[in-house]
Amino acid sequence: MKHLEDFTAENFFISGPDVDTFQYNRQLKSLTIRRTDLSDLDPRLFQPMPLLQVLDFSETKIKSLDFLFQADLYALRCLKLSDNEITVINETVFQFLPALTYLDVENNPFTCDCSNAGFIQWVKNNNQTQVVNAYQYTCSFPVAEQGNKLLDFDILSCWMDVSFLCFISSTCLVVFTLLASFIYHFLRWQLAYAYHLFLAFLYDSRKRKAGACHLYDAFISYNVDDEAWVYQEMLPALEGEQGWRLCLHHRDFQPGKPIVENIIDAIYGSRKTICVITRRYLQSEWCSREIQMASFRLFDEQKDVLVLLFLEEIPAHQLSPYYRMRKLVKKRTYLSWPKAGHHTGVFWQNVGRALETGDAPTETADLLTGPAGR
């Protein structure tokens, strides 16, 4: 078998030839093996055949063209695989057969579905390779397509499904990203506010049904940086001298309970909420949530349940970024610690009188040291 250029065998091999069968035939240009079981063909069989131009494996029970991916048949011009058991052809295999000009895969049981869409498109669009009697290939699978022509299968439905899904997925991803960015930059505080108002609404509804009573006269909402003033000035005056029952974060919140639930319990478990306003208070996320919930209770119950106590002077233009606080200050009277000066006793009497007022939504300008607007 040395130096052969053509080799033909029909019904000669019991099974596929051994990988080293043609190792001394590097000049082989035509190889024909017919009526032999080549279903387990080893791609290494073709490694000694760099010049192979014609390959005829008809009637050999081949089920796919996968063996050609590693065959290195760059000179192959003619490929005959008729009367085999090929159902699906991966069109990318032809990238490894750059010289192929003739293909015969007639009388194979083709599957007419999207798995063959690439091959069908390749047959219709390629200008180099002649596919023998391609328009006569018929479908064997699925049952609904039996007898139909392979090239009549509607491959557009396959491309449209994939393309459409990709388009919809990418569009949704882009829209979601843009929407998430917009919400984060412009609406995150509004959404957080709405969420906490909803929690407060649920809490208020439950309390009304249960007929709960108030455990405290006032919940003190303050920033941790102002805690010293609260403990040194407010508590001695309101709890020590006047006997009010006050609720404070670090002293009265229930350990282990979620902070939001503690805040809601404190606001609705007290007759009123006193907000100790400073610049640090306005910049605090938790303080912002506390005054948001207290504002919702004020709006929902239509009762005088909110007392604003400014611990330092804050000009109106500095309140502008905190539009809810600015809105409250414009509509309600407030207490001003700096304006009290040396008359702190009068100031604490005014705070006590504010706590003594009933739940009716009436203005109390005569009790407080600040005007109703700024």
Structural domain harbouring 38: 6-156
Task: Give the number of other CB atoms < 10 A from CB of residue 240.
Answer: 10
Torsion of the alpha carbons at 43, 44, 49 and 54, rounded to the nearest 10: -20
Q: Using a pLDDT cut of 90, give the percent of the chain over it.
A: 42
Task: Give the number of other CB atoms < 10 A from CB of residue 102.
Answer: 14
Is residue 333 domain-resident? yes
Do 135 and 11 belong to one domain?
Answer: yes
- Is 365 a residue whose pLDDT tops 50? no
- Is 13 a residue whose pLDDT tops 90? no
Is residue 205 domain-resident? no
Q: Using a pLDDT cut of 70, give the percent of the chain over it.
A: 82
Do 226 and 108 belong to one domain?
Answer: no
State which amino acid sits at residue 263.
I
Do 18 and 102 belong to one domain?
Answer: yes
| Residue 69's CATH number | 3.80.10.10
Can you give the pLDDT at residue 192?
67
Q: Which two tokens stand for residue 317?
A: 């233009």
Do 22 and 137 belong to one domain?
Answer: yes
Can you give the pLDDT at residue 230?
93
Do 38 and 123 belong to one domain?
Answer: yes
- Is 159 a residue whose pLDDT tops 80? no
Place of tokens 């009697």: 133
Can you give the pLDDT at residue 72?
87
Average pLDDT rounded to a whole number, residues 300-325: 75
Do 229 and 146 belong to one domain?
Answer: no
Can you give the pLDDT at residue 369?
45
Q: Which of 201-205, 268-272, 341-345 has the lowest mean pLDDT?
A: 201-205
| Average predicted confidence (pLDDT) for the chain | 83
- Give 259 or 333, the one with higher predicted confidence: 259
188-210 helix and 285-301 helix, angle to the nearest 10 degrees = 50
**Residue that is last in its domain, among 156, 178, 200:** 156
| Residue 329's CATH number | 3.40.50.10140
Is residue 362 domain-resident? no
Q: Which two tokens stand for residue 275?
A: 């907000």
Is residue 262 domain-resident? yes
Can you give the pLDDT at residue 363?
40
Can you give the pLDDT at residue 361?
43
pLDDT in tens, 130-157: 999 999 999 999 999 999 999 999 988 7
The answer to whether the beta carbons of residues 346 and 288 sit under 8 Å apart is no
- Give 305 or 120, the one with higher predicted confidence: 120
pLDDT in tens, 93-130: 999 999 999 999 999 999 999 999 999 999 999 999 99
Buried b (16+ CB within 10 A) or exposed e, 66-89: ebbeebbbebbbbbbbbbbebbbb
Can you give the pLDDT at residue 43?
87
- Total domains present in the chain: 2
Q: How confident is the model at residue 268 (pLDDT cuts 50, 70, 90)?
A: confident
Average pLDDT rounded to a whole number, residues 50-65: 94
- Is 364 a residue whose pLDDT tops 60? no
Is residue 202 domain-resident? no
Place of tokens 């052809």: 89
pLDDT in tens, 239-251: 999 999 999 988 8
Can you give the pLDDT at residue 370?
47
Do 48 and 149 belong to one domain?
Answer: yes
Can you give the pLDDT at residue 76?
96
Is residue 336 domain-resident? yes
